[in-house]
Amino acid sequence: MAMTKKALICGISGQDGAYLSRLLLAKNYEVHGTARDAQVTSFPNLITLGTREQITCHSMALNDFRSVLQIMAKVQPDEIYNLAGQSSVGLSFEQPVETLESVSVGTLNLLEAIRFLARPVKLYSAGSSECFGNTGGLAADEETPFRPRSPYAVAKATAFWEVANYREAYSLFACTGILFNHESPLRPERFVTQKIICAARRIAEGSTEKLHLGNNAIARDWGWAPEYVEAMWLMLQQPEPDDYVIATGETNTLEDFVREVFSLFGLDWHEHVISDPSLLRPSEIMTSRGNPAKALDVLGWKARYSMREVVRMMEAGL
């Protein structure tokens, strides 16, 4: 029998970390996860998915090289999935230093630790479609230049080039998944998709509140998070490391998303939504569109669910 692989998921408490842990456990991995303080973190997403008791969690400060090196030497993983760091575009404008440090320094520390320990470790690093900025409505692929328009996107672009540099300079097996928006019921309410669904549900139950949103005209490529983590795993099973755009290939406006959600509850969104200028960002990407052709050609991965199915599954809590 093949030996059980060990995976270390940095940022296991988040949406993607939770779904990835479930996927890897189903594939008979020994799964380890990290949080800044694993002793006091309750890992509610892991509890929701029923995986908490099957995972060994460690305290690790990703921006502290010694902490990273210590956990890497202790766990000795075969695969590392770096999903950690400040993950909100909106919040990055308020916390630019924390965002840049948590994403770029954290990624660099993992790469340096892999190089230092000289073990055949495969690294997946979470990139972002935000790096592309405005592409004039064109679908972005792996060759599209980066034009980041937020501190979050700048941080993710920095991490992307760190991974590419270590892959080329030191022959590390390191990949970046450039993921477009992907949602699930595990999203916290600070993300606009979950904010919309939670507000619509409360209004349907009798709340008189109004839903405050920024620019309803923005367009995004929304996918289903549980199948996006499959693409992460597939990247590390290839013979050679590379970077991949992961998306549905379908773009909808935020207004489309809002209309779809409110219609599920039998509501007219116009009666319950207010455009709030205070929620507009200093700079915004109007249209985000991905071309996942390479993922299909090389990984055999294709999104099965688009925005309308995602809305229904989020509302149902699947």
Answer yes or no: is 201 within a domain. no
- Per mean pLDDT, which range of 14-23, 39-48, 292-301 is the poorest? 39-48
**What is the pLDDT, as a whole number, of residue 2?**
59
The three state secondary structure string of 205-257 is CCCCCCEEECCCCCEECCEEHHHHHHHHHHHCCCCCCCCEEECCCCCEEHHHH
- Catalytic one of 130, 183, 227, 260: 130
Give the alpha-carbon dihedral of 235, 239, 244, 248, to 10 degrees. -60
- Residue 280 inside a domain? The answer is no
Mean pLDDT of the chain: 94
Catalytic hit among 29, 124, 152, 166? 152
Residue 150 catalytic? no
| 106 pLDDT higher than 90 | yes
238-275 confidence digits (pLDDT tens)? 999 999 999 999 999 999 999 999 999 999 999 999 99
CATH code of residue 170: 3.40.50.720
By residue range, what is the domain housing residue 54?
A: 6-184+223-250+290-306
Whether 130 is catalytic is: yes
Domain count, the chain: 1
Catalytic hit among 102, 128, 129, 288: 128
